[in-house]
Amino acid sequence: MAAFRPGLPMSDSRATAVVGDRIGGNSAVGLIRACLAEDPADRPRLDEVAEGFGRPGALRLPADVARTLAAYRAQLRDFLAGAGNAADLTVPFRPGRRNWSAGVGEWPHSVVATGEGDVVAADGSGTVRWLDGATGQETARRTGFTAPVRLCADGDVLLVCDSGDRLESWSTREHRMWWAAPPGSLSRARVVLRGQSVFLGDAGGLLHHFDAVTRCLWWQTGPLADTSGAPAVPVAAGARHVYLSAARGREILAVDDEGGALSWRAPARLPAPVLAPPLPLEEHLVVADGDGTLRCLAAADGSTVWEDRLGAPVVAPPVRVADTVITGDAAGTVHCHGATTGEPRWRVRHGRREEFFTLCTDGAAVYAGGWNGRLHLLDAADGASLQSFDLGGQVLATVCAPGGRSVHAASSGGTLHALPSAAVPGTAAGPPSGGDGGPGGGGVAVTR
């Protein structure tokens, strides 16, 4: 075959003949050759080059190649472990063209991403920072909050709630504050956000449902309490129900979203307290308790649909991917179950040194982090290891940007890291608290 020489004219077709092929089809050389065509009219346009090489982001390998590499990686890890070398094949996180790291204060314990491309982080000093999700550049900062600070974002709403009776509602689109609750007016309140609806439980056990923008009150319940009289607190909001925790996490109550009436004849009683917010689905509620049991309750009446013993406590909220529920436990194991039947799909162990604090998903991969400072990227379909990054400190919080653009992880060293999502743009699943394959969303609790 004759050597290729720059400037050699293309045969008789325009560059679009090769632009349509992908790198996976071994046509990268053809696309580069088209860019070197002697006649400018034969060279591909910029948008054609972008289409040929694909959008910037994580390397997209063919599915069979990714599975083969994951299998080799697992075999190598097993071999090293058998030889007394516990290397986990983790690589240090390095900022680059698609990755960035930014300082966000000491002990950044809460992170959210907005639909407008911002990332908001709260640190242990009570400082809340807004950053550009694409570059990591800080764009705004507010101080004076009492740590720990809890953040919650959904749609155009951002709630900032601290431990000193301070609650603010912000527009993520206009970057302005809608309102702030007067200091001292929300003692020991617990807040759940779902869309533009706020569900606030007060110290007297009353649950208030109001608009996040206008503060218009839609309804208010009477006192909701456990048998000892302690107030129940909201922990999650599904498509048609709001769920509350009572009896120090050993009871779950449900009220109707329309008017606040109790939906279950009796609370669902659990043998161990719930340490993480449950996952609301369209027709179910998935609950993981401190004894390591994963349960699925019927949203209609609170009855148990299925349960499985995981073997270790769960402190990170479960996430949903398609028709499955994925859970990370305190023994370093990630479990995947069918959402409606509880059938185990896969399970991956990461060793005794790992303890998962946080879990998120973009619909294609699961991102799990915790005690040993590793951010594990797992294929959501089969649990295969895609990558593992050392973030230099315990992984305290993770979040996937809406639309599956990027993933953000905060480490105890005071750094927020960003990396491209593994999901193909435009195909990422919605928030992990969505329904059983249908419409509806779930709320995330904000604790004061």
pLDDT in tens, the chain (448 residues): 333 333 434 444 443 444 444 333 445 667 777 888 888 888 888 777 777 766 555 455 667 777 787 777 777 767 766 665 555 566 677 776 678 999 999 999 999 999 899 999 999 999 999 999 999 999 999 999 999 999 999 989 999 999 888 899 999 999 999 999 876 777 778 899 999 999 999 988 999 999 999 999 999 999 998 878 889 999 999 999 999 999 999 999 999 999 999 999 999 999 999 999 999 999 999 999 999 999 999 999 999 999 999 989 999 999 999 999 999 999 999 999 999 999 999 999 887 678 999 999 999 999 999 999 999 999 999 998 888 899 999 999 999 998 878 999 999 999 999 998 887 554 444 443 333 333 233 444 443 3
Domain total in the chain: 1
Nearest to 326 by CA among 355, 354, 297, 286: 286
Q: Is residue 26 part of a domain?
A: yes
Q: Is residue 22 part of a domain?
A: yes
Contact by Cβ (8 Å): 414, 123: yes
Contact by Cβ (8 Å): 421, 404: yes
Q: What share of the chain is helix, strand, coil (3-state, %, to 5)?
A: 10, 40, 50
Q: To which H or E segment does residue 78 belong?
A: helix 63-82
Strand partners, 204: none
Q: Is residue 30 part of a domain?
A: yes
List CB contacts of 145: < 8 A, sequence separation 6 or more.
Answer: 122, 126, 127, 128, 160, 162, 164, 166
Write out the residue range of the structural domain in which residue 39 sits.
Answer: 16-53
Q: Is residue 43 part of a domain?
A: yes
Q: Is residue 38 part of a domain?
A: yes
Report d(CA 296, CA 363) in Å as an integer. Answer: 21
Report d(CA 55, CA 417) in Å as an integer. Answer: 21
Q: Is residue 420 part of a domain?
A: no
Q: Is residue 430 part of a domain?
A: no
Kindly list the distances between the CA atom of residue 393 and the CA atoms of 266, 316, 369, 396, 413, in Å, as whole numbers in the listed order: 43, 18, 10, 9, 5
Nearest to 336 by CA among 286, 371, 388: 286
Report d(CA 283, CA 288) in Å as an integer. Answer: 17
10 Å Cβ neighbour count for 438? 10
Q: Is residue 40 part of a domain?
A: yes
